[in-house]
Amino acid sequence: MGERKRYKVAVTEILRRTVMVEAETENEARRRAEDAWKNGEILLGDRDFEGSEYYVVGEAESDESDKHLERIDSKDV
């Protein structure tokens, strides 16, 4: 088995909800929905979970720049 390295992996949760918006144009509808979300009128939660994505960002640095990252214990697979 080869030497283990440390990698940075970005984990993204995808939340989605469709809402009804009255507007004169598609752009206005999108803007009104965005404004409602920014103002806390649309609160996404567990029931809006659609999926997750995982991307390897790169190898972890050995210096202090990655000190703040959460660690996942390595396990033999």
pTM of the model: 0.68
Q: For the segment 65-77, what is each residue's pLDDT rounded down to a tens digit?
A: 777 888 887 675 5
Bridge partners, residue 53, by sequence:
12
Residue 32, both tokens? 């009104």
Radius of gyration of the chain (CA): 20
Distance CA 10, CA 1 (A): 25
Element (H, E) at 31: helix 26-38
Distance CA 61, CA 77 (A): 24
Q: For the segment 3-52, what is each residue's pLDDT rounded down to a tens digit?
A: 888 899 999 999 999 999 999 999 999 999 999 999 999 999 999 999 99
pLDDT at 76: 58
Domain boundaries along the sequence of the chain: 12-61
